[in-house]
Chain A
């Protein structure tokens, strides 16, 4: 079903969402920095942001999350889990690349043996309103990884910016629940055609440019290659790429304690940290940046595909834009495909 939301109704529309749901949307934190946040004032929402630094996975997998609280009473412990999601949620304005990434992380956190209830409860409670990219960047390569600037997979509703209004497509059962929203109108044929034109223009911009076919097999042959020493020379191990990557899912679990009570918290972590694999004995299986960079690249393009048949990259380009040493993963992929020839 295709409906339309006039931009002059945007703020009251947001308010109508906030009356029923916890709303998460992109917010500008400073001139050049943004993230997805829980919205307190509808005016905070800024859908003109190309792609916030922090990926949308934060909504389901927060950077820092309490898992349970405990309280000591004598020799006993009382535990209260925080896994429950009290109110249903709407995620507004996520781009198709970030939404693709949800499907990848779902594979890790769902799993047949153990379910990560913290993540899954939030996933189940959230309606995803995706937004098409009418201005993809030259660093975007989603089309090379089964994605695209207007890919609708994973969205319950999907927005296209038409200038004066948004085209709103209701795609799933969850999405159809919004059809009665009083701010939605019927779009004209002209508007529908305009939306189609925007979509076609964007698709051309993000042509398939990064050769990922067969990269898993290539990497099988390169485990001990000298390439890993060369490729990481300029890498500072600064971890920006892992913290901004929509598909990275590594985390640390720690206890934060006061005397009698405290909580168990999980925080994002990065395989590029020097102490990531450090064992209490002092032994570190990944002692230098060579092993750690190899781990990162092989996890994305070899280990994850072995387990889940998908490459753990959605081509959002954040790692290319924000790396202080200007590491370009598209170049790395091409070099790997040539067997490590730089």
Chain B
């Protein structure tokens, strides 16, 4: 399991990615999909997923459809056109970030030089 600090900044991107791959999903489905896809390494709490879903809806990235399931209502989330653009931008940004982190962590010789210089 990764620490919540590490996961925190990626929740929006994860949700947008899932919704760009699936036409529509509901909250529980999103949490399960993330847990399964990461083999339990990332498990989102309720406080991590639902506020973000509602924020994305308020800012126009997501739209909702309500459906009756038995005796309750289920809210399905899907990307709007604006959300689709945001999803692509976020994924691009995230991929770029990962590449940067990778190069940082691989300790290129040029970078090592700066890290190893003792600070005055």
Q: Do A and B come from one complex?
A: no
A residues near B (Cβ < 8 Å) are none
B residues near A (Cβ < 8 Å) are none
